[in-house]
Amino acid sequence: MNFSAAGLELLKRYEGFRSHIYLDVAGIPTIGYGHRIVAGESFANGIDEAQATQILIRDVHSAEQAVCRLVKAPLTQGQFDALVDFCFNLGAGKLATSTLLKDLNAGNAAAAAEQLLRWDHVGSKELAALKARRQAEFQLWHSAAA
């Protein structure tokens, strides 16, 4: 299964494009469409949207692979897209250890969807932007058109 156009649209909307390095809400150096900068990467002069899109494609591929590796239950396109966005945003490690994944792999997709909504905090602080993103993922999860 591959990330759909609807999933990519959601991801780009919530990440936004930034041509220069910034710190995300967790304080991690980031650039483009939410690309977390890793050791050895340098973007001293920033990047353009074309470069950001190429990096995004690689990052999304990693998130797709993580979802395929971790999820044992069958998924709809909307569920897959929501989980790929979740992994892109929070990392595969968060999905791997989550009640969301346990519920989903146990065959309880409805409970798993509800778990998405719980991931709207950084530390102990609820963030409106994360709350909105999780709600958008929840809607995508339930979308028949995705």
Q: Which residues are catalytic?
A: 15, 24
Phi, psi of 110 (to 5 degrees): -65, -45
Nearest to 59 by CA among 27, 96, 91: 91
Residue type, 61: H
CB 37 within 8 A of CB 43: yes
- Tokens 């909504």 sit at which residue? 117
CA distances from 82 to 28, 49, 105, 131, 135 (A): 23, 23, 15, 14, 10
Determine the 3-state secondary structure of 128 from DSSP: helix
Q: Up-side HSE of residue 69: CA atoms within 13 Å toward CB?
A: 11
